[in-house]
Amino acid sequence: MMTDFEEYIKQGEPDKKEKGIIWQTAIGLQQVDGLKPSAYLIETAKQNIEGDISFDEVKNRIDAYYKTLENKIDTDDRTEEADKVSARIAEILSEKTFSFSPAEYLTIHRRLFHGIYKFAGKIRDYNISKAEWVLNGETVLYAGADNIRATLEYDFEQEKMFNYKGLNKQQMVEHLAHFIAYLWQIHIFGEGNTRTTAVFLIKYLRKLGFKNINNESFAEHSWYFRNALVRANYEDLSQDIHKTNEYLIRFLSNVLLNENNILKNRELHINFIAPKNTPKLDENGGVNHENRGQKTVVRKSGQKKSWSGQKKWSENLVKIFELIRNDPKITRKELSEILQINPSAVQKHIEKLKTECIISRVGSDKTGSWEILEEGDNESKS
């Protein structure tokens, strides 16, 4: 869907270009939760970019569209969420107003999710945990419900007092990575934290004077952004896994410094081992030349994971990968029927692809979809 707005971004008038970038970002951020807006939303967004309708009219049309679908059994609530939240993000990003405060952060969440979540704009009063693919099902330790507000206010106060004077741009990026990682880790809402944090961050960066930020990273790599936040807030010293901002710094360097760091989700997985000639980055994203090529990650079972050197993929494994790539919504049952192999064999192949950080499951088994993390060459993958 990203290509739908490229004509406006590359060749359009300044106003159309700006709106094209905004819509591309708004829609791309839905990938954080594995959501994809409808074709109707895309066409409505184009009318807004052309100047035919306002943001209010966009929202009214989306609301009316879903009211006509209320009695349809096959209505997908998650697609409705993607459409409505995309329109609301686009509207907020188009506004030239912002206040750096906890109240603004709460307001953004309320505006994005009112009518979708009952707790829109409200601080959670219960503890949460979330199984993360990038952590092999483990969870980040989020702020406890009893001290969320105090932690939130403390982080905002610390950032307000911070002086950026004398820092070069790379140092600014490193500090912003620390701030946004801390803010996200509080996880003050029951759901919608990453999208809210992304919108808040974009608005804050503009306030700081970064007028020409590269929103393409948010549009195309929003899931990487979320996984980078996860890695910035997770550690398991018993397995030699440490908190690191290196991935978040790569992402923000693309956004603010127009760097072209390659952002691959599989590299964030705690079992990933970089190729031997890849320099290891230190906590602040700099190259640690003394440790070049010596990064080792150990599984919880104590077995090391090698990224290459094993046997070629089997014929069925290749077919399953191709079927998933062509249809991310395909089910295990459908794979079994197409390939005429038993479901347990399908599951075995899927687990291999997941273990090798080639695919992951986004969302539930019933309504979710497959995510391709790495295309690669099936002749040499482990």
Please give the Cα distance from 27 to 316 (Å, whole number). Answer: 34
Please give the Cα distance from 225 to 248 (Å, whole number). Answer: 7
The mean pLDDT value of the chain amounts to: 85
* Level-2 CATH architecture, domain 110-305: Orthogonal Bundle (1.10)
Q: Please calculate the CA angle 365-228-101 and round it to the nearest 5 degrees.
A: 105
Q: What is the pLDDT of residues 81-120, one digit of tens each?
A: 999 999 999 999 999 999 999 999 999 999 999 999 999 9
CA 9 to each of CA 172, 211, 222, 263, 334: distance values in angstroms, whole numbers, following the listed order:
28, 16, 19, 22, 39
Alpha helices in 95-215, H assignment, sequence order: 102-113, 148-161, 169-186, 193-207
Helix (H) or strand (E) holding 372: strand 369-372
CA atoms within 13 A on the CB side of 117: 18
Shared fold status for 110-305 and 315-372: no
Beta-carbon contacts of 5 under 8 Å, excluding residues fewer than 6 positions away, are 20, 21, 23, 24, 45, 46, 49
Of 122-136, 200-214, 262-276, the range with the lowest mean pLDDT is 262-276
In words, the CATH class of domain 315-372 is: mainly alpha
Give this prediction's pTM. 0.75
The pLDDT of residue 374 is 60
Q: What is the pLDDT of residues 343-371, one digit of tens each?
A: 888 888 888 888 777 888 887 777 788 88
C-beta of residue 266 within 8 angstroms of C-beta of residue 133: no
**pLDDT (mean) for 169-179:** 97
Q: Please calculate the CA angle 281-274-256 and round it to the nearest 5 degrees.
A: 45
Give the domain ranges of the chain: 1-95, 110-305, 315-372
Q: Is the pLDDT of residue 304 over 90?
A: no
The pLDDT of residue 276 is 56
Please give the Cα distance from 364 to 366 (Å, whole number). Answer: 5
Q: What is the pLDDT of residues 113-141, one digit of tens each?
A: 999 999 999 999 999 999 998 998 999 99
Q: Are strands 359-362 and 369-372 parallel, antiparallel or unpaired?
A: antiparallel
For tokens 């923000």, name the residue: 252
